[in-house]
Structure 1
Amino acid sequence: MRTAILAAAIGLAASAAAAEDFKFASFFAPTHPYVTGAFEPFAKMVGEKSGGDLTVTIYNGGELGPGPAEQYTRVLDGVAELGVSLAGYTASTFPLTLVAELPGVINAETGTRDIWNNIELFQPEYRRAILVSLWSSAPNVLYTRDKAVRSPDDIKGMKIRVPSRNTGLLVEAWGATPVSMPVSEIYNSLQTGVIDGAMIDTTATRAFRLGEVANYLTVGMDTTNSPFFILANRQAFNGLSESDQAALLEAGKEASILANETQLKVAADGVTAFAELEGHELIELTAEEAAAFNAAAAEVTAQVVAETGGSAQAIVDALKH
């Protein structure tokens, strides 16, 4: 009996020793909706789908190193086995992925599912790291501090934060000056007048407290979104068993849908919250007012698709409804 118990204990110890833990680097604060809406469910799914062979430990708020843009490098260097970031922060590496952020290409409600139905079109540029999750965001809209924007004439000459090169091209087409800046710097830069406004989705009203430093919010024009991804270190991934690799990828695909759904809900709440702030104005463009913005946006999309070449047009054709 004692021998049987000892053997069972040894077996359990061996099983525990064989379990692998992947560190997940996130620049988001622990209170961000993505954490409870997508990242924690992702970690739970990995554990369940792998039968406990693979676990994920989330390090929020830049615990493994600060900076949204730097998370990609941390995955490549093996500081973390997993990391979340935006493709736009390393734009030159992911031109095909960023076709999906262009104005008029993706439907906010169905875009993430459309991406996964055509994921083979994006895979060629994920050579240095493994693509685990990829999702589209709510549209980037315009927060401004001191000036209401209802036409491209209103935005001319303003300094506007952008999350990616393509959004910068859009802002330039509208007559403003784009300023590349990670999301963590927007609040202080807007508060101090370093920038006049910011292009970002409306989760920022609460998640990044932009309702405190912006007095106007303009919505209703064709604009970009910001694709997010979760990547895995290729060497660490290749070290997993085939079943654990499958568990990670299955959980990642499901987490993509959860992340998109979470963001769309919080973004809708962000519009309502902004409109309810005293002394603030939500500007919902009419079709006539949006037309000038949209004409410039269409030119930017055509320009970027032509410059990107390769399968860029195939991505547009696959994603556009």
Structure 2
Amino acid sequence: MSVRRHLFAAAAAGLIAFSANAKELRFNNPLPESRPETQELIQFAKDVEENSNGELSIRLFNGGSMTLENADLLRTLPKGVVDMSLLWANYLGRDAPALSAVLVQGSIGNVDELTAALPVVRDIFESEFDEWGVKTVGNLAIPMLYASVFCRDEPVRTLDDLRTKKLRVWTRDQVMTFTKLGVSAQIINQDEMYISMKTGVVDCALYPALYAHTASLQETAKYAAYLYPIAAGPYTLGMATTKWNALPEDEKAALTQAADALWERTNEYSSDYERELAAREKLGQQGVTFLEDFPEEDRALFLETVSETWKEITEEAGGKAPEYRERVLEALGRE
């Protein structure tokens, strides 16, 4: 069984039991409870409590229930508004453009490249977060994902077809790439994607089949076609540096040990493609017709355009962004 399939139904509400005398850390998790990453955070919280003999506990607030905007976390987390938070670099471009430009969606094409790049990416992330007064307690790896275009009413499996539709995406670099290709794309948060598809705000949504059920895409999309691979930088488990420094050494050790175990569980990609195919099959049983993949020439053009976007946003970000890109390219053997 894949390490990512450990589900903890008893903790489905995201509230971890703790003793009356335990110190409790509030953890902001913007991901919904249905996401595998949330289940991994539940295990992280259980490990922290076990490592500390019940003296330290994590209380998870899932699905954005703390109403903290992802884009604001570099402002709110260092101030101690919340004790800990899950952060994703691509959402932080307003305040830290160099950080959000380290990787863009589609810049890495396979698991071998991802494995080569991750040590460099993690090092860059940690140093950048340090400058914002955020301590990297640990990282949570994201699976190798495969982005498909899910459409509500009509089959779409070419860029020409897609140019006649309104497309939902989730990052600015995706908007830039699709715009270069003549596709109308807009950022819509996951929690708004269902209603946006249902009401026709967008005709199609870019999303991995593996996670489609977490956004109920099987209820709003009739067709889907694979477009490109997604290898992303990991999530960061962040804490205000001042809060971290104030913790006693045994509590730091309990958190670090649990974070190391979290990384070991999630930094494993051998079954990702099989899980993707299984997800497509299940979606097919639920009424989503998976079409043939986008044509090879369309996929090649898309990835070529992604490379242009990556270079453009690093130059736009300035500062250390071009240096970071060069470090990642060197790790990938693409100097």
| TM-score, with structure 1 as normaliser | 0.79
Shift of 1:279: 5.7
Note the residue ranges of structure 1 that are not aligned, 5 or more in a row: 1-14
Query: Does the CA contact (< 8 Å) of 1:216 and 1:283 recur in 2?
Result: no
Alpha-carbon distance in 1 for matches of 2:219, 2:300: 30
1:1-321 superposed matches below 5 A: 17=21, 19-36=22-39, 38-65=40-67, 69=71, 74-92=76-94, 93=96, 95-105=98-108, 107-108=110-111, 111=114, 114-116=117-119, 119-126=122-129, 127-131=132-136, 132-137=138-143, 138-221=145-228, 225=232, 227-259=234-266, 264=272, 267-278=276-287, 280-307=289-316, 308-319=321-332
Alpha-carbon distance in 1 for matches of 2:251, 2:120: 23
Percentage of pairs with the same residue:
23
- Bigger radius of gyration, 1 or 2? 1
* Code of the aligned partner of 1:212: E
* Total equivalences in the alignment: 305
* Code of the aligned partner of 1:41: Q
When the two chains are superposed, the root-mean-square deviation of aligned CA atoms in Å is 3.3
Which is further off, 178-187 or 198-207? 198-207
* Code of the aligned partner of 1:115: L
| 1:74-133 deviations in Å (ceiling 9; x for gaps) | 534423211224332222325335423342326347736842465222222202322232
Alpha-carbon distance in 2 for matches of 1:196, 1:53: 50
Shift of 1:41: 1.4
Query: Does the CA contact (< 8 Å) of 2:142 and 2:233 recur in 1?
Result: yes
Alpha-carbon distance in 2 for matches of 1:94, 1:49: 36
Q: 1:224 to 1:190 in 2, by over 3 A?
A: farther
Alpha-carbon distance in 2 for matches of 1:314, 1:105: 14
Query: Does the CA contact (< 8 Å) of 1:151 and 1:290 recur in 2?
Result: no
Note the residue ranges of structure 2 that are not aligned, 5 or more in a row: 1-18
* Code of the aligned partner of 2:324: S
Which is further off, 142-151 or 176-185? 142-151
Q: 1:167 to 1:104 in 2, by over 3 A?
A: same
Partner of 1:95, secondary structure, is helix
Alpha-carbon distance in 2 for matches of 1:140, 1:226: 16
Which is further off, 42-51 or 68-77? 68-77
Q: 1:128 to 1:90 in 2, by over 3 A?
A: same
Which is further off, 54-63 or 221-230? 221-230
Shift of 1:43: 1.0
Alpha-carbon distance in 2 for matches of 1:298, 1:148: 27
Alpha-carbon distance in 2 for matches of 1:245, 1:112: 28
Alpha-carbon distance in 2 for matches of 1:174, 1:293: 8
* Code of the aligned partner of 1:278: G
* Code of the aligned partner of 1:133: N
Alignment correspondent of 1:4: none
Alpha-carbon distance in 2 for matches of 1:254, 1:91: 29
Alpha-carbon distance in 2 for matches of 1:297, 1:210: 25
Q: 1:168 to 1:223 in 2, by over 3 A?
A: farther
Query: Does the CA contact (< 8 Å) of 1:106 and 1:319 recur in 2?
Result: no
Alpha-carbon distance in 1 for matches of 2:150, 2:36: 20
> Which consecutive segments of 4 or more residues in structure 1 shift more than 6 A?
none
Alpha-carbon distance in 1 for matches of 2:324, 2:32: 36
Alignment correspondent of 2:16: none
| 1:51-74 deviations in Å (ceiling 9; x for gaps) | 444321222233333665566655
Alpha-carbon distance in 2 for matches of 1:47, 1:320: 42
Shift of 1:272: 2.3
| 1:170-223 deviations in Å (ceiling 9; x for gaps) | 221222122122111101001111112222222332111111111222214355
